[in-house]
Structure 1
Amino acid sequence: MEFIAIYLWTVLETRAIYVARHVVYRYLLTDARISFTNAKSSELILKQWVKRSLQMDKDKMGKDKNEKDKPQQESLVKILRRRSTRIRWKDDQSSSDDSDDEMEENFSRDFPESEDSALSLTMADSTIKSIISLPDEKIDMLAATSVLQQQATEIRNQRVNWQSYLQSQMISQEDYSFIVAFDNADAQAREKLLKDNRNQAAKTFLNLLGHVSKDQTIQYILIMIDDMLQEDRKRVEIFHEHCAKKKESVWGPFLNLLNRPDGFIVNMTSRIIAKIACWSQDLMDKSDLQFYLAWLKDQLKQNNNEYMQSVARCLQMMLRIDEYRFAFVSVDGISTLIDVLQGRVNFQVQYQLIFCLWVLTFNPLLAEKMNKFNVIPILADILSDSVKEKVTRIILAVFRNLIETPEDSQVSKEHCIAMVQCKVLKQLSILEQRKLDDEDIVADIEFLNEKLQASVQDLSSFDEYATEVKSGRLEWSPVHKSAKFWRENAGRLNEKNYELLRILIHLLETSKDPLVLSVASFDIGEYVRHYPRGKHVIEQLGGKQLVMQLLGHEDPNVRYEALLAVQKLMVHNWEYLGRQLEKEQTQGTKPTTSTASLSVKS
């Protein structure tokens, strides 16, 4: 329903759509929910709404109609924008791999504006029917058109009165002459104008951004700059050349706009910054780059950010540049991507953020560190729930890179084990049973199956255990309950400066999952039972206190496992004392001072 509402509002400007606006307006205000699973019944409901709205509004369409409808129309725009990222329509919000601009071009070509101001209700019904009956790929294309692009389409039609700025002396005659000529030119004329006035173009645009304060005008100027760059990527050098002559930073005027309160302005500015940073021969300065990437990261964290797709699109562009990847990691970017993916986001945003992870994995150093952020478990969960082919494809591509890209074969092996641990083999089996036309998906499934099956054959019980602990997703797998495993491997938990023990203790401190807490408590108890100095090590690492705190946990299973672990920590002293006494009695000697002292302490 949402994409129909946006389409009707932004594309068609007709009498029949006036009625449809009222229909959609009532839908949004009452927070109705309609499933479009059954297209015919949904179409019938929508037609009934239109007819009912016609009857209800029949007496309200007199000569004062425009004045009465204006506040309602403005309210509808606000509601549409506010809810554009919250409403979930049945077919989700996946998209094709095209850029936002290509999406918009296809959108306009497939659904051109009507010039007939007397469009009948029959045509409105036909339009609704044509949208509902669209194939999945067209629906995906509509959904991928971001809020930023939808608003840009509206703003383009609101021409600026440049004469008023000249008369008020807010802009110079030189800037006025250029901007009027540029604004009224077609693509061919713009090309000639820019070729003859490269420096003036950058000078005028930057002057206008610096001297004009009205939001609507700033929006219009930014759209002009964005369209200019989109027509020809090489035009980004216009700004670099101008700023180099003046010995000024090209980033300053644009970065300042990121502090504006208007959502459209900051996100369109962000889009322009990304294009200049990625399409120019000169890389972005380190300090400016850190500021911009930190800004993008903060935008991702915002709840209900209606411009999330545009933010993700900027990141997709930036992370194609290897130098920018390390800068993004340095501002804790990977953790932010994972946090957002763990939340409830639509399929379009899922795809875009996983795309960001994918381009990061082309760098060997980053690919080796990736699973420290729990990337594999998170993506495995998304893969198991995914119904969109493009999301599946990009996840499999990430998994393949995590195996192929690392230069250390041991890291690749660990990634394979992690995927096995996260039930990726099962998902590959399910995917193989589908009829997939995408050659990339088929090839990646074959590659991953081969690598994961090979890793399973070489997988030792300790490798399986270590991978499970590192994933942070503990469950009652066979190794935990195997006495043979603990007898043979308890000492190996001391490897790499007690790495696995530290992870177990960290889970006791931070995890909210009763299952994880139960298994971690059990493992610490088994380590103490089978490793002679286990009690001392656990105390030194702060594990004993955390286990004892779990004795008061609300979950009975956690309390039970914590109690057993505490018993093992205490009984360990008695077992040691018993062995000492037995040894001394066999030798026929008196108990030593140390043994007596230990008895008193126990």
Structure 2
Amino acid sequence: MNNIRQRPIPWDGAARAGTITEAQLAKIKAVDKVKREQRKQVVEGDLDGYRILFLGGPGTTGVLESASKRSDVIQYILVLLSDLLEGVPALVKALFRDPDPYQHLLPLLAHSNNSEDPIPLLTSTVLTTLMANSKDESASTERALPLVLSYLCGLVKNSNDAGLQDIAVMEYSSLLYGKSSRQLFWKQRSETVAPLIEILRKAAGVGGESSASLWSGNTATRSGGFEGISGGVGLQLLYHVLLVLWQLSFEAEDIGNDLDDEYDIVLLYTQLLRLSPKEKTTRLLLSTLYNLLDANPSTLLPTAVLARLPALLQNFSGRHLTDPDLQEDLEKLKEMLEEYQKTKTTFDEYVAEVQSGHLRWSPPHRHQVFWAENARKILEFENGEIPRKLADIMKKPWENDKAVLAIACNDVGCLVKEVPEKRYQLEKLGLKTRIMELMQDSDENVRWESLRALGGWLKYSFEGN
């Protein structure tokens, strides 16, 4: 922006060529290259005039529209407008007297396909400043915000330019000023949230395609993905991504379960806590986890235990922490988890594991007493939710973690063994057919467990005849 501010614009020539009018030129010169306080007085003394300068009015064309053929003028005007929106809060309100203050700005987000063109980026800054400083939630902002988010998500996905990624993520943060904008942000999560999760997975040293390595514990325990390591994530970008997701976590009651179902966020944040390089990142991680678990205790507390969060928090207690807010969040989280662990059962742990969508060889799977006591309860829980979830898990190929399929076959076999009269419930879900398919799997353990499961099925079939 500074380069554009310093660039000389031949204003008089632009006026003679009809690019801008004499009246527009007079208004620009009155605030151009003058001290901040003087600029503020000039604009506050003529708010309607400056609104019309940028946006136009009845029978009057705004400067962004009239100068549309001159990229240098448009760039300069956008920087000037951005400075004025930051320095003169009254102008922000004045622009909203226009029926649609975004009308001439939004098209500039798609000004050209040239990635070097600064106009779309400058426009996104103006739009973000306008929305954030006004905290506007009108219908026109609700229509404009998704377009701004779509533009910014393109920058976030550009992993070759960490500077642009960081600018976009900071603009996200500015835009999440209220419930309405956070809901719109979440509604576009495949564009907005998913790329942020990819950045965090990279920081945690996890491949983007699945959380298999996190669940199995096969990740680096030191700063695997952070700055200084090849292909790492810079601390500033990491902090800003965590800030955005912390802001989003204020909607945890509505989105917390989906956030974990779709992105394994509790598990991911537990791993990031292990690696967190600074207190400021640790504080955001703990605060976000607290918001999520506090709003969704019945579903996410079991997941947190499964992710081994309680043991990690105990380790934190031995560290010298200087941030009082961080210490408070740490204590609140520990208390919440300790209280839950006093009352939880192995059944709760098993349900949480299946609901997480990822199985590992935790103790219940191989425990005969567990199945004898809980098989019927598992089949009846929430009208058969657990076998349905097992069926969903088994539909996936799990190329990176074949153990999941082996464990699922084991569990289905145990259910058939303990409650043979309910095997038709499992057959209706396609589980018997899938187990027969897995007898041809490339993985030896999957073939063995599928054979064992089918053996139990056949045994009860023969006995029933």
Q: TM class by shorter-chain length? A: 0.7 to 0.9
Aligned residues of 2:261 and 2:357 also touching (Cα < 8 A)? no
- Equivalent AA in structure 2 for residue 365 of structure 1: D
The answer to whether 1:356 aligns with 2:244 is yes
Which residue of the other structure, out of 203, 208, 212, is the alignment partner of 2:63? 208
Shift of 1:278: 2.5
Aligned residues of 2:135 and 2:177 also touching (Cα < 8 A)? no
- Equivalent AA in structure 2 for residue 253 of structure 1: H
The equivalent of 1:497 in structure 2 is 383
Shift of 1:173: 0.8
The equivalent of 1:322 in structure 2 is 179
The equivalent of 2:434 in structure 1 is 546
Which residue of the other structure, out of 389, 398, 423, is the alignment partner of 2:288? 398
Quick one: distance in 1 between partners of 2:121 and 2:169? 11
Shift of 1:518: 2.0
Shift of 1:305: 4.8
The equivalent of 2:311 in structure 1 is 426
The equivalent of 1:508 in structure 2 is 394
Quick one: distance in 2 between partners of 1:430 and 1:569? 46
Quick one: distance in 2 between partners of 1:489 and 1:213? 73
The equivalent of 2:103 in structure 1 is 252
Aligned residues of 1:278 and 1:321 also touching (Cα < 8 A)? no
The equivalent of 1:269 in structure 2 is 123
Quick one: distance in 1 between partners of 2:90 and 2:348? 52
Quick one: distance in 1 between partners of 2:458 and 2:194? 39
Shift of 1:284: 4.1
The equivalent of 1:485 in structure 2 is 370
SS at match of 1:252: coil
Q: Which runs of 5+ in 1 are unaligned?
A: 1-151, 578-594, 596-602
The answer to whether 1:193 aligns with 2:42 is yes
Q: Which runs of 5+ in 2 are unaligned?
A: 56-61, 204-232
The equivalent of 2:447 in structure 1 is 559
Quick one: distance in 2 between partners of 1:478 and 1:570? 26
Give 1:410-421 correspondences, 5 Å limit: 411-421=296-306
The equivalent of 2:217 in structure 1 is none
Name the larger-Rg structure. Answer: 1
Give 1:272-351 correspondences, 5 Å limit: 272-280=126-134, 282-285=136-139, 286-306=142-162, 307-332=164-189, 333-343=192-202, 345-351=233-239
Shift of 1:472: 2.5
The answer to whether 1:460 aligns with 2:345 is yes
Q: Which runs of 4+ in 1 moved over 4 A?
A: 333-336
The equivalent of 1:439 in structure 2 is 324
Quick one: distance in 1 between partners of 2:196 and 2:453? 37
Shift of 1:321: 0.7
The answer to whether 1:449 aligns with 2:327 is no
- Equivalent AA in structure 1 for residue 89 of structure 2: R
Shift of 1:367: 4.0
Shift of 1:340: 4.2
Q: Deviations over 1:400-454 (max 9, x none)?
A: 11233x2xxxx31432222121111222122222211111111111111111122
Shift of 1:487: 1.5
- Equivalent AA in structure 1 for residue 134 of structure 2: S
The answer to whether 1:366 aligns with 2:238 is no
- Equivalent AA in structure 2 for residue 439 of structure 1: P
Q: Deviations over 1:562-593 (max 9, x none)?
A: 3322333333312x32xxxxxxxxxxxxxxxx
SS at match of 1:383: helix
The equivalent of 1:389 in structure 2 is 279
Quick one: distance in 2 between partners of 1:347 and 1:379? 16
Quick one: distance in 2 between partners of 1:265 and 1:533? 68
Choose 454-463 or 561-570, whichever is displaced more: 561-570
Shift of 1:167: 2.2
Shift of 1:508: 1.9
Aligned residues of 1:271 and 1:310 also touching (Cα < 8 A)? no
Quick one: distance in 1 between partners of 2:441 and 2:105? 53
Measured at CA, do residues 546 and 353 of structure 1 come closer, stay the same or move farther in structure 2, by a change above 3 Å?
A: farther
- Equivalent AA in structure 1 for residue 423 of structure 2: K
Aligned residues of 1:413 and 1:455 also touching (Cα < 8 A)? no
Measured at CA, do residues 527 and 351 of structure 1 come closer, stay the same or move farther in structure 2, by a change above 3 Å?
A: farther
**How does the TM-score come out when normalised to structure 1?**
0.65
The answer to whether 1:469 aligns with 2:354 is yes
Measured at CA, do residues 290 and 199 of structure 1 come closer, stay the same or move farther in structure 2, by a change above 3 Å?
A: same
Measured at CA, do residues 365 and 194 of structure 1 come closer, stay the same or move farther in structure 2, by a change above 3 Å?
A: same
Give 1:44-83 correspondences, 5 Å limit: none
Quick one: distance in 1 between partners of 2:323 and 2:9? 47
Q: Deviations over 1:251-288 (max 9, x none)?
A: 12221111123553223322222222232264242333
SS at match of 1:258: helix
Aligned residues of 1:229 and 1:236 also touching (Cα < 8 A)? yes
Quick one: distance in 1 between partners of 2:375 and 2:415? 5
Measured at CA, do residues 305 and 505 of structure 1 come closer, stay the same or move farther in structure 2, by a change above 3 Å?
A: farther
SS at match of 2:277: coil
User: What is the number of residues matched between the two proteins?
Assistant: 416
SS at match of 2:384: helix
Quick one: distance in 1 between partners of 2:272 and 2:64? 42
Which residue of the other structure, out of 236, 240, 262, is the alignment partner of 2:92? 236
Which residue of the other structure, out of 528, 533, 542, is the alignment partner of 2:416? 528
**How does the TM-score come out when normalised to structure 2?**
0.82
Quick one: distance in 1 between partners of 2:449 and 2:84? 65
More helix by share: 1
SS at match of 1:552: coil
Q: Deviations over 1:482-529 (max 9, x none)?
A: 111111211233322322222222222223322222222221221222
